[in-house]
A and B are shown apart, each in its own frame.
Chain A
Amino acid sequence: MRHGKYRFIVGFLALPLGLYALFVVWPFIQSIYYSFTDWTGLSPDFQMVGFDNYERMLDDDIFWKSLWHSLLFALVLPVLTLGLALFFAFMINVGGRRRKGGPAISGVRGSAFYKIVYFFPQVLSIAIVSLLFAFAYNPDSGAINSLLRGIGLDGVQPLWLGDPGLALWCVMAVLVWSTVGFFVVLFSAGMASIPAELYEAALLDGASRATTFFRVTLPLLWDTVQSGWVYMGILALGAESFAVVQIMTTGPGGPDYSTTVMVLYVYQKAFRDGQAAYATTIGVALLIVTLAFAAIVMRLGRRERLEF
């Protein structure tokens, strides 16, 4: 054994592991423990109450609303975002074929430009993006409604974020806007590694673009799509949806709780209502939803791995 190996290992791991344990692991363990207490967060005293918080949660209408909205975020958002991104990436990388004199397979003209521009929103803070769109959605003087007026649609002036039926979709649209570019670039990288011969063979067989996409591109890209889905779902259940909902919709989470999501509800219970224990209970539910989501997507998406 080399001299000083263990001293070195301990010396190098102590600080990162200590910091991680103190600020990440320990609070996680604590929060599960707190979910069985009646801790308010305001005073140091609390008692064990068993499953009371969990029973209360199951009777809480707002919890169910927030759960439903979070599920919508985790299911609808990735479908929209990944679907759009796949379409754009395919157009950018493969869609330009049959250009005279060029290679059989290529992107449309200006594909590099599109990739750069589409990625813009990804580098912006979701908080700043949310603020910007909150202004744009303003029903009276916002950019969107005045654009509608400008093109003669005076009758179409939705309340957007003020309309309980629309607010959630408005918020989701912002997340789609800000994340599509990332996946366009991600899928482009994946598509670039698919050998051109496969496309040429498909072309010789007379496959249309739709056929090429569903028979060649998508199967070979499946692994990337799947991990993209999990990644997007975890984001949509967590930090991203917190920022958009907290910033863009007013009051308790949109008109009539129409945009409340689980992360926001945890935040409100803990830091606004002084119900820290109940907040951690909802947090545990969020953890279960997140893990279940990842497990289900991984299982449903499992396919025979294609080698190329």
Chain B
Amino acid sequence: MKTTETPATPPAESGATVYKTDQDPAARRPSGQREGTVLNVFSHGVLVIWAIMVVMPLVWAVMTSFKDDGSIFGSPWSLPDRLHFDNWARAWTDAHMSDYFLNTVLVVGGSLVGTLVLGSMAAYVLARFDFPGNRFIYYLFVGGMSFPVMLALVPLFYVVNNMGLLNTIHGLILVYIAYSLPFTVFFLTAFFRTLPTSVAEAAFVDGASHTRTFFQVMLPMAKPGLISVGIFNFLGQWNQYMLPTVLNTDPDKKVLTQGLVQLAVSQGYKGDWSGLFAGLVMAMLPVLAAYIVFQRQVVQGLTAGALK
């Protein structure tokens, strides 16, 4: 591969001059060939640089999580002298990463199930049944996607507080579900519309109730859509920061994201930077691992919404 730059207008090559047009050197096939090579080198170079820029901070974080405090500040880019696994142990127990993990799993597990069940129920009714107010309710849900959450958070805090749900896991779950419904209903309504009606009607003629038809016929058919929207919600809820920051200030109930930020900001974890990095990496690894394993589904799930 050539790495040198060629002039903007590549030198004419014999036989190629016939095609020459001043505006468009690429029209001449042989030098077009060369333009391709140079551009390939250039484009590859840019792509590689961005790939490095993406991976390097992550590698740096992993590396740092195995170093002692002295070398973190002394020489941030050097390799660890040995693998300080004690950072990880300390973060897991002393820095309460295990608690934050458990809280996050509980909150996300509960709200993910709730979001999918309630979201698909609402979406099914809105997609398949004609009744007065159908459009209004649909747009009421969908409108929620474009409103700034922060506006609602101030009164929401007091609503949640008055119900005695502040600083509770189940309170967070209910709020997560409510704020995940706009996109979920939007996505699943479109999905249920694409499913054939004949199967559901056959089940109904056979004497199945609406409820039974939904749970035993329609829901299994909607599995691909549920997986896409489920991954979207999983990542969104796992990574949620704003809602717990406002609604969940009890140190024992913190989720991963706020727990880590709390550790970094407060003096409660004085100077244990290596432990903090271990905690950071710990919080990153599960989603990165899940992404690598379920790469295709994750990408489909995340882009499904924006594409239509």
- Give A contacts to B, CB under 8 Å: 2, 4-6, 8-9, 11-13, 15-17, 19-20, 22-28, 30-31, 34, 41, 84, 87-88, 91-92, 95-99, 108-110, 113-128, 131-136, 140-143, 146-147, 150, 177, 180-182, 185-186, 189-190, 206-209, 211, 224, 227-228, 231, 234, 237-239, 242-243, 246-247, 263, 266-267, 270-271, 276, 279-280, 283-284, 286-287, 290-291, 294
CA distance A125 to B257 in the complex (A): 7
- Residue of B77, B131, B147 near A28 (CB, 8 A) is B147
- Residue of A96, A108, A294 near B146 (CB, 8 A) is A294
Contact B121 A208 (CB under 8 A): no
Least Cβ–Cβ distance between B192 and chain A, in angstroms: 12
Least Cβ–Cβ distance between A85 and chain B, in angstroms: 10
The stretch that binds A, out of B82-90, B91-99, B220-228, B258-266, is: B258-266
CA distance A189 to B58 in the complex (A): 26
Given the interface pairs A20-B181, A147-B77, A287-B148, the reply to whether A231 lies near B154 with Cβ below 8 Å is no
Q: Which residues of B contact A234 (CB under 8 A)?
A: 146, 148
Beta-carbon contacts under 8 Å, B66-123 to A:
72-77, 118-119, 121-122
Closest to B159 in A: A27
CA distance A31 to B153 in the complex (A): 9
Closest to A242 in B: B242
0/1 string, B250-272, CB within 8 A of A gives 1: 00000011101100100000000
CA distance A124 to B238 in the complex (A): 9
Q: Which residues of A contact B151 (CB under 8 A)?
A: 28, 31, 266, 280, 283-284, 286-287
Q: Does B193 contact A (CB under 8 A)?
A: no
CA distance A9 to B131 in the complex (A): 9
Q: Which residues of A contact B75 (CB under 8 A)?
A: 146
Q: How many residues of B contact A (CB 8 A)?
A: 104
CA distance A186 to B144 in the complex (A): 23
Contact B178 A128 (CB under 8 A): no
Least Cβ–Cβ distance between A277 and chain B, in angstroms: 9
Q: Does B216 contact A (CB under 8 A)?
A: no
CA distance A87 to B42 in the complex (A): 12
CA distance A286 to B302 in the complex (A): 26
Q: Which residues of A contact B210 (CB under 8 A)?
A: 4-5, 8
- Residue of B150, B280, B291 near A283 (CB, 8 A) is B150
Given the interface pairs A16-B119, A121-B54, the reply to whether A142 lies near B76 with Cβ below 8 Å is yes
CA distance A286 to B287 in the complex (A): 32
Given the interface pairs A185-B299, A271-B246, the reply to whether A206 lies near B121 with Cβ below 8 Å is no
Q: Does B197 contact A (CB under 8 A)?
A: no
Least Cβ–Cβ distance between A261 and chain B, in angstroms: 10
CA distance A234 to B147 in the complex (A): 8
Contact A27 B26 (CB under 8 A): no
Given the interface pairs A91-B46, A114-B51, the reply to whether A189 lies near B307 with Cβ below 8 Å is yes
Q: Which residues of A contact B137 (CB under 8 A)?
A: 13, 17
Contact A141 B27 (CB under 8 A): no
CA distance A238 to B246 in the complex (A): 14
